Structure 1
Amino acid sequence: MAKPPKKRRLSVYLEPDIMKALADYAARREHSRSLVAEAAIASFLSPDAAERQEAATSKRLDQVDRHMTRLERDLGISIEMMAVFVRFWLTTNPPLPEPAQAAARAQAGARYEAFVAALGRRLAKGPRVREEIPEDRSGASSDQPPTASGCS
């Protein structure tokens, strides 16, 4: 039976913070610094390291892509919701006569505060509007906005 080849000595210079991290890691794992460094170098030189890194990068990019898709969907919902509301509001609310405009401006602050409070409750308790809308909206006609009577 042949003897395994003797290990050879290698001297390296490490930055102090890297040396401290190596020593701390080796102490936590109850291994020598030499063993930890050897394993790290072997992993770095392994042909699988690049493949593992590529797989991890691909997985992360897929997660980012799914997140961006959800954000795009949510933004589209928000824009459409705002457009439908503005159209409905403009359709159902005629301009106020001059004397009534002053009274409406006086009430605007209180009404806005009530709106913000209601929005805060909705965000805290849910469900979110985006959760009420199905992911697949292929059955809905997206080119025809709802009429004013359908937006109550």
Structure 2
Amino acid sequence: MSQHRLNLFIQPEHARRLDALAAQKGVSKSSIVAAALAVWLSPDAGDHGGTALLKRLDRLSRQIERLERDQTILIETLALFVRYTLTVNTPVPEAHLAAARAQGKARFAEFVEQLGRHLLRGRSLVRDVVEELHAAPSPAGDAAGTDERREDAP
């Protein structure tokens, strides 16, 4: 591919920022300028990249919203589990402490194995729960997935 050489004049501050970015990214200044020019000249960039940038920002906003939702689910799940565990489990008598610890270690080992299998499947338990909630009818009789959050479902 042939390239055209251009001699450009830019402001000193822009030159410093371009030098710093090229050094940070480990790429040439020419490649940075070429990428910026490609965005500027792209069909989506009728407003000089604004439309493309807005689309990307919208996508990032949706991703952040999903992350916040998943984080809220995880926090609530953990809090509910801890409360349930502390409420239901009775103290172990001293005579049975060693056996209870051994059983706890075995249960934890099984938990880690199940977690590993689940992660290898590539599915998210949070996503599975959210999908089940959206599929289940709501108490009011209409589908739970009819609200605006359905659009954000992964």
Place the TM-score, normalised by the shorter chain, in its bin: 0.5 to 0.7
1:107 pairs with one of 91, 103, 106: 103
TM-score (norm 1): 0.54
Label 1:11 to 1:99 Cα distance change in 2 as closer, same or farther (>3 A): closer
What is the 5 A alignment of 1:1-152?
A: 12=7, 17=28, 51-125=47-121, 126=123, 128-133=125-130, 134=133, 139=138
Label 1:44 to 1:67 Cα distance change in 2 as closer, same or farther (>3 A): closer
> CA separation in 1, counterparts of 2:57 and 2:40?
22
Shift of 1:83: 1.5
Label 1:57 to 1:92 Cα distance change in 2 as closer, same or farther (>3 A): same
Deviation digits for residues 44-91 of structure 1 (CA, Å, limit 9, x no counterpart): 69xx95714111111111111100100011111111111221222222
- Quick check: which one's helix share is greater? 2
Partner SS for 2:90: coil
Shift of 1:130: 2.7
**Structure of greater Rg:** 1
TM-score (norm 2): 0.53
Instruction: Determine which structure has greater relative contact order: mean sequence separation of CA pairs < 8 Å that are 6+ residues apart, divided by chain length.
Output: 1
Partner SS for 2:92: coil
The two structures, once aligned, show a CA RMSD in angstroms of 3.7
Deviation digits for residues 101-137 of structure 1 (CA, Å, limit 9, x no counterpart): 2222233333211101111222333462333223699
4+ runs of 1 displaced by more than 3 Å? 134-137
Label 1:51 to 1:94 Cα distance change in 2 as closer, same or farther (>3 A): same
Name stretches of at least 5 consecutive residues in structure 2 with no aligned partner: 9-27, 140-154
